[in-house]
Structure 1
Amino acid sequence: MVLARHDARLGDLDQLIRDVWVECCEHLSSFRIGGATYDSDAERFTNDMNVPLSHLIAPGSTFTYDYDFGSPTSLDLKVIGETSVAPRDGPLCLIARNDRPIIPCDLCGGEAELALNDFDEDFQHYYCRECLSSTEYDPDCVDLIANSPRNGVCGYAEDPETALHWYPPGWSADEIVPEEPGELLDEIPLDDETEVNAAMAAVIQDIGPDINEFVEAERAAYGEGIACMAGDTVMAFCTFMYIVYEVKIDAWDALSVQRCLVDELSQNPIFPEDWPENAVPILCRFLTHMEASGHLTNASELIAALKEAEPAFQKAATSPEKGQAIFKFILMKAEEAGVDTDDFDAFFNFAVRELVEMAGFDLDNEEVQKELSNLLEGRTPEALAGNIRAAMIFERCEDFCQRFPDNTILEHCRRIVRDLFDHPAAPLARGDAVLWSAAIVYAACQDEDLIRPGRGAPPLGQEISSFFGVERASIRNKVRAMRAFLPD
């Protein structure tokens, strides 16, 4: 419903209808009133829209509006009355409008919330959130169901900021369209587990017996430990190749196996200490086995590619950055669970359980419970403990560095943590983790000339001491000791 002032023109009404309901690509439009046509394009040899509404319509008048003559949207309009109330800030004001249309979900029949544009068929499908999550969709093709008669036509999407111009004072764009499509999509659970399970089932169906045969050969040649590692490594690698690169083993190529090794397999969240050095040899033997069984013909090419990428894989598998990324995720879950994240033992126990679950192990399985118990009783792989500890140390550095205008100090801290983590003496494994964080930040600030020697107690040094709750003398002593482990 639109309130019009006495001097409102037909062109004003055209603009309101465009801004609120129909505008998509600046198509032409026209009104038909009493047998006469008024076009938005004055060159169409018809009447233009620069004419007062009061000269054309009166209470009870009916007329029509068309937008886009190629894929037209037509509206029937009516003047319902006359009032002494007039818009305050312009010639027209929107004073009421329809509710958003209720459209059934294509799959379940419930109320749809999102429209999925199918540009190949020039058609829209409608889904509720749950049903959309079960489809393969491109987020860029998802829109809210528009409160418009042009919904689904010519890529129309609501523009609440533009429509707001015609609303009464006090309205906001968020009240017109409460959510963006991306906000709704963020709430749709990603069914990763279903995808992984489906991929694993496909791998098993394709080459499951061959994998079992290979694992048995590994057991006979290298023992139970390597056989278990081989089964996990091969299954994970094949699953990644199926999910990420969408190829079965007979279509593997050198580039994809290198990328899968470095980008995907290296991110295994929990592994035995000797896994990084054994993973590539296991995969090479697996490729030889699969070529012998007739599943591929380019094993030598793939083996060469894996060996070439092995150093990068080992670096990625054991890097502090990997631990930091995983740590941040686990830290968030620990805080949600009420775990005291300043208590390393409590957090470590929680983290190990999360890592075991992330690695795909069933925590209800008795064998998994036994191994987990061994981990928590002290027989923890040093690589795992080292990654978590380094990540915790860096996380505190990151918290402090939020006060700086750029990432210069943060990146310097990252380099120091990496150098300390890579040092053969493993200095980060010993001592107070908070003191390590304070010393790393202090050293980074010194190196960037923010803290200079011989100037007394600098304000930034005091700030570091206060933030970490550590005496400045202890920090300076730790910095001096730490520099012995850092490259010149």
Structure 2
Amino acid sequence: MTPKVSPGTCLLCRAPVTKQKALKHGMECLQASGWPTGKKPSLLIMIRGRDNKNYWLVVLARHDARLRDLDQLIRDVWVECCGHLSSFEIEGVIYESDAECSTDAMNAPLSHLVSPGSMFSYDYDFGSTTSLDLKVIGETPVAPLNALLGLIARNDRPVIPCDLCGGEAGFALDDPDGEIPRYYCRECLASAGCDPEYVGIIANSPRSGVCGYAEDPAAALPWYPPGWSADEIVPDELDDALDEIAFDDEIEIETSIAAVIQDIGPDIDAFVEAEKAAYGEEAACMAGESVMAFCTFMHALYGLTIDAWGALSVQRCLVDELSQNPVFPEDWPENAVPILCRFLTHMEASGRLTNASGLIAALEESEPAFQKAATSPEKSLALFRRILVKAQEAGIDTNDMDAFFNFTMREIVRMAGMDPDSEEVQKELSSLLADELLKSGADDLRAATILVQCTDFCNRFEDDTILDRCREIIRDIFDHPAAPLSRGDVVLWSAAIVYVACREANLIRSGRGGSSLTQDIGFFFGFERSSIQNKAKVLKKLLSGR
């Protein structure tokens, strides 16, 4: 049940206010603010989350502010994540962002459409929609300072209890494998062992937890009155805590490696030598890396030395952790469990284990699940998405296959636990990058990039029908004799593939002006409708020639 009192803060004087008293307090503060008087009265607009009315804003809008200005404020403060379309509905009329018509509907002045007492609505993202209710709650002669619009009050950051200690949480774990998010305070987060990739700051927004939304205090700051800082909107200590998770994780792995070496380092070396004598150099290398990784995970996750290993812990470590090895030889998934079983037998023979047979039975029972997880397309896609995001953050042009390929190789080496800048690894990388057979993987890289882009767009649909068709199209043109994927902009290819899949599913209607989905595709991928349609025509010709 929504509480009757929704606490907030006056952004002018920083006094606590409630949603119910925000108008009266705001009017008094504006009169005392020394802000200029407008030529015409300014509007005071209350904006609330439709599904959770504890999220609210009070906005001061100058008489000549336009719908587009209000749309931008809402995006910057509350909802922007992927450049989705948005719309206002006022008295039954829809005003869409960048509507394809001679006059942009969002350019309409607010004062021509609403007045005190008017109620209207706003939707952002027509897939995973965030809906807001707006009401003009008053007017004042005071105008915003040096702007058309500005915030004057806002709800306080929501208080959500930590799942572990019951204190105030600051972080949410949105693990895709979990049904509901989990919440942690800073102290419990540090001890929870969460994957930093899925942890985010609890956003003060009705879009929290939707479509990867993350609060952007730098974008929100220009809409605040003078004197505020980004750190006051989203405290730096929350960002610092997220950084510490990743840093602590690296330290923990290094500590665990050292502990394993100290405990059974000589035994591992002896086992690797035995593998070399029996199976050769390459097999010994695979055995050493597999055993060292497994032992490190067992120590890092469970704090277990080898004499304390149990059937359940080795099964969980095998399926949940070792299977996520980012780079491995083609025959590794079928050899990893036999290697570990031989290692256990070796350790029992050396007197370090007494329960090898039970552990071996547990590993063999979980081998099918391990192989499935190790070779899962979803795992590969998730891994590549992480690399793609890092490349974009590093300013790598993903259309420059040489630069992108080199960056990807370095990231894979880093994920495998090696230092890509060490002299030994550098020599190995140089040798690999000079291999023409490996270079042919550039086309695979382009195809993977396109699939990730298509997948991210298709997340808005209720099922995988469109995504499955995108996969089929990518596979068909990847195998095309003309090798079309080796040329052109990968993002434009992605947009065209999604467009064709949606047209085939009758989600995009023919005719002048296209549809809102066409506009959404253009916004998401950053291309004009005409460019996407032209590329789609090329794509259709390629597909028809198969």
* TM-score of the two chains, using structure 2 as the length reference: 0.49
**Pairing of 1:22-41 with structure 2 (within 5 A):** none
Q: Name which of 468, 471, 481 aligns with 2:535.
A: 471
2:283 matched residue in structure 1: 226
Structure 1 letter corresponding to 2:189: P
**Pairing of 1:232-251 with structure 2 (within 5 A):** 232-251=289-308
Specify whether residues 263 and 427 from structure 1 end up closer, same or farther in structure 2 by C-alpha distance, changes over 3 A only: farther
Q: Name which of 474, 485, 490 aligns with 1:432.
A: 485
CA distance in 2, matches of 1:184, 1:364: 27
Q: Does 1:186 align with 2:215?
A: no
CA distance in 2, matches of 1:200, 1:383: 35
Specify whether residues 213 and 287 from structure 1 end up closer, same or farther in structure 2 by C-alpha distance, changes over 3 A only: same
Displacement of 1:216: 0.3
CA distance in 1, matches of 2:469, 2:341: 35
Q: Please tell me whether the aligned partners of residues 440 and 479 of structure 1 are also in contact (alpha carbons under 8 angstroms).
A: no
**Pairing of 1:39-50 with structure 2 (within 5 A):** none
Deviates more, 1:292-301 or 1:471-480: 471-480
Q: Does 1:292 align with 2:345?
A: no
Deviates more, 1:205-214 or 1:376-385: 376-385
Q: Please tell me whether the aligned partners of residues 439 and 479 of structure 1 are also in contact (alpha carbons under 8 angstroms).
A: no
CA distance in 2, matches of 1:414, 1:472: 16
Percent of aligned positions with the same letter in both sequences? 54
Q: Does 1:253 align with 2:310?
A: yes
Q: Please tell me whether the aligned partners of residues 462 and 472 of structure 1 are also in contact (alpha carbons under 8 angstroms).
A: no
CA distance in 2, matches of 1:420, 1:281: 38
Q: Does 1:322 align with 2:379?
A: yes
Specify whether residues 462 and 426 from structure 1 end up closer, same or farther in structure 2 by C-alpha distance, changes over 3 A only: closer
Specify whether residues 345 and 417 from structure 1 end up closer, same or farther in structure 2 by C-alpha distance, changes over 3 A only: farther
Q: Does 1:344 align with 2:367?
A: no
CA distance in 2, matches of 1:307, 1:421: 36
Q: Please tell me whether the aligned partners of residues 203 and 242 of structure 1 are also in contact (alpha carbons under 8 angstroms).
A: yes
For residues 35-56 of structure 1, the C-alpha deviation after alignment (integer angstroms, 9 at most, x for no partner) is: xxxxxxxxxxxxxxxxxxxxxx
Q: Does 1:459 align with 2:482?
A: no
1:304 matched residue in structure 2: 361
User: How many pairs are equivalent?
Assistant: 321
CA distance in 2, matches of 1:383, 1:420: 21
Q: Does 1:407 align with 2:461?
A: yes
Structure with the larger strand share: 2
Could you list the runs of 5+ residues in structure 1 that have no partner in the other structure? 1-18, 21-117, 120-135, 143-168, 483-488
CA distance in 1, matches of 2:474, 2:303: 36
Specify whether residues 171 and 344 from structure 1 end up closer, same or farther in structure 2 by C-alpha distance, changes over 3 A only: closer
Could you list the runs of 5+ residues in structure 2 that have no partner in the other structure? 1-14, 17-163, 166-185, 193-224, 522-528
1:369 matched residue in structure 2: 426
Q: Does 1:138 align with 2:195?
A: no
Specify whether residues 171 and 317 from structure 1 end up closer, same or farther in structure 2 by C-alpha distance, changes over 3 A only: same
**Pairing of 1:94-243 with structure 2 (within 5 A):** 137-139=187-189, 179=235, 182-188=238-244, 190-243=247-300
CA distance in 2, matches of 1:230, 1:481: 47
Displacement of 1:392: 0.6
CA distance in 1, matches of 2:358, 2:431: 41
Displacement of 1:422: 9.8
Structure 1 letter corresponding to 2:235: E
CA distance in 2, matches of 1:209, 1:140: 33
Q: Classify the secondary structure of the residue corresponding to 1:191.
A: helix
Q: Provide the aligned C-alpha RMSD in A.
A: 4.5
For residues 452-482 of structure 1, the C-alpha deviation after alignment (integer angstroms, 9 at most, x for no partner) is: 8xx6899369766746575333322445578
CA distance in 2, matches of 1:478, 1:283: 48
Displacement of 1:261: 1.8
CA distance in 1, matches of 2:383, 2:265: 30
For residues 372-431 of structure 1, the C-alpha deviation after alignment (integer angstroms, 9 at most, x for no partner) is: 1122123566997687444312222145447xxx3336x4455457778999x9849954
Specify whether residues 470 and 346 from structure 1 end up closer, same or farther in structure 2 by C-alpha distance, changes over 3 A only: farther
Q: Name which of 262, 265, 268 aligns with 2:322.
A: 265
Displacement of 1:263: 1.8
User: Highest relative contact order (Cα 8 Å, sep 6+), 1 or 2?
Assistant: 2
For residues 248-298 of structure 1, the C-alpha deviation after alignment (integer angstroms, 9 at most, x for no partner) is: 222222332222222211222222222222222211211221222222233
Displacement of 1:438: 5.0
For residues 331-362 of structure 1, the C-alpha deviation after alignment (integer angstroms, 9 at most, x for no partner) is: 23322332211222321111101211221223
Displacement of 1:198: 0.7
Specify whether residues 362 and 232 from structure 1 end up closer, same or farther in structure 2 by C-alpha distance, changes over 3 A only: same
Q: Please tell me whether the aligned partners of residues 260 and 295 of structure 2 are also in contact (alpha carbons under 8 angstroms).
A: yes
* TM-score of the two chains, using structure 1 as the length reference: 0.54
Specify whether residues 293 and 197 from structure 1 end up closer, same or farther in structure 2 by C-alpha distance, changes over 3 A only: same
Structure 1 letter corresponding to 2:434: E
Structure 2 letter corresponding to 1:346: A
CA distance in 2, matches of 1:288, 1:386: 43
CA distance in 2, matches of 1:387, 1:290: 41
Q: Please tell me whether the aligned partners of residues 417 and 440 of structure 1 are also in contact (alpha carbons under 8 angstroms).
A: yes
